[in-house]
Chain A
Amino acid sequence: DVQLVESGGDLVQPGGSLRLSCAASGYTFSTFAMTWVRQAPGKGLEWVSTVSGTGLSTWYVDSVKGRFTISRDNSRSTLYLQMNRLRVEDTALYYCAKPSSWDNDAFDIWGQGTMVTVSS
């Protein structure tokens, strides 16, 4: 079965750093772009970042540009999100998601999410 498992969420102070991981299994990881989506408590879904299958191309929502870095290790089938200079408004459940095919952006597989809380 195709599966995504996130980890790394925690309580962190404003200005702090955190690295999220997403372990993939059940498919050829390097074939697909991967995406992080977040959801603040009681709010809607927000796209955060996407990385291409090779890891050479990345895209970010404006609010995290310069603070977050998406990367992947295809040898370990693992996606990462390095989060620096965290703000209170970054508090959210962070999901990793996989598209249904190499040439579309419909996310058919989602992890269970990992919670990031930014608070003093």
Chain B
Amino acid sequence: QSVLTQPPSASGTPGQRVTISCSGSSSNARRNTVNWYQQVPGTAPKLLIYNNNQRPSGVPDRFSGSKSGTSASLAISGLQSEDEADYYCAAWDDSLSGHVFGTGTKVTIL
């Protein structure tokens, strides 16, 4: 069961900014860090943001993360065609004693 809720889809034209929300609870997003993954269909997920707002080496600064309370957000600015993918938030859940992934958001470039 997923306890991190994301919108199923988001879209934008090249150059636009898109924001994806991740709604959790006190046992996951509030207490623990949130990470974000990008998955292009047919490939393994790629770490995009860790510790709520940190970018791994090689991830463009067009991607940014934030967290407030029980929710987190991923923003993609200056949308590019290669950003078309599925995006997942994730966090450790203290109540479940396990990791949880968000429901996933498909980003489409119009």
Interface residues of A (CB under 8 A from B): 35, 37, 44-47, 50, 59-62, 95, 100, 104-108, 110-113
Contact = CB atoms under 8 A, between A and B. Distances in A.
A22 B88 CA distance: 23
A105 B35 contact: yes
Query: Which has the most chain B C-beta neighbours within 10 Å: A44, A50, A59?
Result: A44
Given A37-B101, A46-B101, A95-B45, 8 more contacts: A45-B88, A46-B2, A47-B98, A47-B99, A50-B98, A100-B50, A100-B56, A108-B56
Contacts of A104: 33, 50-51
Nearest to B100: A47
25 contacts: A35-B99, A37-B45, A44-B104, A45-B39, A45-B101, A47-B90, A47-B99, A50-B98, A50-B99, A59-B97, A59-B98, A61-B96, A100-B56, A104-B33, A104-B51, A105-B33, A106-B33, A106-B35, A106-B47, A106-B51, A107-B45, A108-B47, A108-B50, A108-B56, A110-B45
Interface of B: 2, 33, 35, 37, 39, 44-47, 50-51, 56, 86, 88, 90, 92, 96-104
B44 A105 contact: no
